[in-house]
Each structure stands twice: as C-alpha cells, then as structure tokens.
Chains A and B, each alone.
Chain A
Amino acid sequence: MDELPIRSGDDVVRVRQQARAAAADCGLSLVDQTKLITAASELARNTLVHGGGGTARIEVVKSDRGRSGVKIGFADDGPGIADLELALTDGWTSGNGLGLGLSGARRLVDEFELISEPGAGTNVVVIKWSR
C-alpha cells in the first residue's frame, strides 16, 4: 500500500506510474489498465487543481468472490464540492476544462465513490476489477 503526495504535475505522473504498476501486478487487461490509469490521471489532476493538493493511496484488493482489483483513494482538504450531482454531470466544469474529469473517470472504473462537502475536502475512491 502506497500513499503518494499530489503537490505538483510531477506527482500526477508518479500516481499514473504507480497505478500502472499495480494494474499490471493484479493482471488487468491492457484496455482496463489504460482505463484505470486515465481515471487516476483525471482524479489526481482534480486533487491538485481543485483540491489544492492532497494524496493518492493505491492498493491491490480482493473481492468477496476472489477477484483482484486495484483500489485508489484520492483525498484533499480543499474547498470541497457543494453539488455532487452537478459535479458528476458531463460537460459541467468549474474551470476552463471540458467537464469530463469526474464524470469521465466514473465511466472508466467499476466502482466509484465520491464524498465531499463544502469546506470539508474531497475524497474519491475508485476500483477496477480484473476480469
């Protein structure tokens, strides 16, 4: 289990590399690895840009039915998100992006949990299972 700081663009690249290593370790297909790494990249950028920096925790997990997967948790102490529904809408953006970061990341993984409140930071946990 690795907890990685997300404080700079370098760190976002490092999160991608660690996610790739974990995904390969747990036997995800190349397409699933790519989806997970892409989702991790979106979420790490959100942590950096919107959360003002934070951490990523990457671990290999087992499901009840014995499947293995990669779980990544992103945490920041930033301003948080007031309207979670809205934030997960395609095309909605708080900045000058395309608004595909959160909604796109959710489509690329198997499990997606977003916990956030204004003033209380943001936590996102995603899992991609091997098939």
Chain B
Amino acid sequence: MALSNTTIDQVRASVASGTTTATAFAEEHYARIAAEDGPSGDGLTGKGINSFLALSRERALAQAAKIDAQAAKGEALGPLAGVPIGIKDVLTMTGSPATAGSQILKGYMPPYDATAVTRLEAAGAVLLGKLNCDEFAMGSSNENSSYGVVRNPRALDRVPGGSSGGSAAAVAAGFSVATLGTDTGGSIRQPAAFCGVVGVLPTYGRVSRYGLIAFASSLDRVGPFTTNVRDAATMLSVLAGQDALDATSSDRPVGDYVGALAKPVKGLRIGVPAEYFGEGLDPEIRAAIERALDGLRADGCEIKPIALPHTKYAIPTYYVVATAEASANLSRFDGVRFGLRADEAKTLSAMYRETRDQGFGPEVKRRILLGTYALSAGYYDAYYRKAQQVRTLLTRDFLTAFASVDAIVAPVTPTPAFKLGEKTDDPVQMYLEDICTVAASLAGICGMSVPCGETAAGLPIGVQVMGRHFDEETMLRVALAIESGQQ
C-alpha cells in the first residue's frame, strides 16, 4: 500500500484482513523516515526535514508484533490497530528520551508514560518515536528547537510552523499516519495549516495533560494531527476522557465523534467574525475561506456575521498569561532531579543559575523573564490580573457568539508558511503569528485547522473551525463538509 493517502481505517482494515501486517507498516514508515528525514547534501540523500528526534523501534516493533498476533488469531482489534503514530517530544514515553526540544532535558529518560500515549497504545497504535518541536513548545516556526529546525515538507525552504512543527511535518511527509501535538496558543492549528494537514485543538479538559511537560497549564492541550477529518475524529475518540491523574480533565461524557460525521450539516448556523478578516490577511487565504463558506452555504448552512469585539487584545493577554504560567512551571528545571546540571557550581544557588543559563535557549529565557516581571511585586495587578480580566472578556465574546451560531469559521494564519529565518530577529513579529489562534486558546473552546486549497505558489492554506466547549462533534461535522467540498 502506498504510504501517502494511507488512512487510519485503511491501515486497520488491511492489518485485520491480513493483507499486510502492522510490522510491515512500521518498517515501511521507518524506511521512509531513514530515506527522507535526515540531512541532504555532502552525499546525503535526505530532505533535511528533521521531524524525528528519536525513534522507538524496540517499543514499536514489540507492539506491532502483538497486534499481528491478535490479527492472526482473529481477535478484536482496537480502533488504531497497527497505525504508525509519532509523539511530540513534550510528552513522556518510557524507553525514549523526552527533551521538550531543550538542552536542559537532553538525555532525560522519563519514568512514566503520558496518559495520551497510554491511550493510543491501548487502542493498538504503533508508536514510532518522538517529534521535534520548539523548545518547551515556545515558538511559531519550530526555529526555537535546540535540536535543529524542521523543514516544511511542502516547501523545504519554509517553516513548518510551531511549536508542533515536527508533528505536522511528519504527517505531511508520510512518515507517520497520525501524530500527537500540543497547542497552547496555536501550536497544533498553525503548523497544520502551514503543512496542509488536519490538526485538532480539543476543548480544555477533554484530553488529559498527564505526562505533558507543562508550558502554561491553563492553556496547554494535547491533540492529534492527521491527513483527514475522519482520522482526526478517530484519534479524538481514543484520546478523550477523564483521567484521575489530571485534575483539570473533565468528567463530561465523551461524544461519538466518528458517528457524528454521518450527520449532514444542513441547518447549522456558521458564524464569521469580521475581526479575523482584517487588513493583514493574505488575499489568497481570504479567497480560499470564502470558497469554503460558499460550499457550506450550498450544503444548507446559514452563514452569519458575528462580532468577537475583544479579538485584538488576545495576543497581549496571551503573552502575559502564558509567560506568567511558564515562569512558574519552568522553575522545576534546576539541575536537581532530572536533566542537565552545571558541573562547576560550588553552591546550590549558583548551580540553579548556571544550569538554567546553559540549558535554556533565548526564547525560553525571554518568556521566563517576561512572566517573572509580570508576576513580580508592584506589577502583578497591572499585568497579570489585568490580563486575567481581559481573558474573561474574550471568553464572554465566544459564549455570546455561540448563543446564536453552532460553529465559527475563520482563518488559522494571516499568511501561508514563511521562509526559514524570515522572522527570527523580531519576537513581537513572531508573536503576531498567533493572531488568529490565541483567542480560542484563552477561551478554552475547541478548534481545528482543515486544509482548504493552496496558494498560486503551491503553499497549503488552512481554515479554522471553532466549536463550543465540549462540542467537538459539530466542529468535526463542519470540518468534514469543508474537506468534502475540496474534492
């Protein structure tokens, strides 16, 4: 079977029927990674995509053998039986290092599995390895990884987006049928749009964060990348659900995400927020989204203009809240219990400072400093409390909008994937990359990126579908209708 266009259902069916084996699938994907993920030039024949940081061959092949034995005996197979899946390197998985893209965790072998990892494997997934990302998931281009940049498989001179750049690139390159990413301010949706794949931000509390190396705990979420909407629904049905190990995971019943896809979208009310279609929006992206909206209209949806009046404050709010939480979360990296320790230090406090100076990259330091400043005496009310109040206003915007619409459609990014190195000199410019994604992050609603065409230059375009809290079903239905309209 050709690797490109391989869907979860195809893998599962061909493993179940004995057409092929989970082991063969895993080996085929490893062969492709070996051929293309590595560097190019100097006699090397890779494409320099650099999506995988570590391969977990032993664990993957043991799981594949187990699935193949089950299939041979005709036993019932899980929904992800034999499906090769890669894991963003901010999630823990025993047997593989967990670096979070940082030198401070170089070589760290975690003693437990993230809940998302456990759930995927229990459903039959074959976990191929760990994927490159911006250091501690801080970045919008994957250029902040301390293990090298990731290239966009659709345009090798461009960024894959971030921070889950490796996760998006691995799916786009056919290295993995699906991957896990994390999204704090756009880190699943934006790289999905840049690489032309599907990426889902589940509602806050829908998927356990246990085993996720924390960046900003009130914003961090785990979600899937896939090549198509149906696969995303399958992945979400495996990942979703309460977890005793994450107190913020919700006990709400998990929906039937795959079943929901059979329901037509006729009669759904789709909100279009004018604030997301401002001056900076690339005209080709605007046109592609308008075509997607025309398609939804033709399917019987009612398209309604809505207002999300506080949208322009989402970026400043996010960069206070996220950095404040990061400054607290990252204080655990001190050279005592895991990861790097500066050898030379004579005293404990010098050891903390030198370890952190050597281990953290510039963007991480920048955010720790900003967050520490915003929380420090005399500035707490002016920055942190103010941002938390504006977060309330941003969330109210969505709650008001969702009283009159069932889903919201907007751009994911104002521009298609930019060139490597284009924005690295100006942190504020890089932060503005998140302009269409951070509001949903702050409000805790679900959102996703679905491919909706490409630019004249052949760069992928994504459209964002946002849904009510815990209404992933409606979001996925709208996304499927948009995807179907592309064919």
Q: Do chains A and B stick together as partners?
A: no
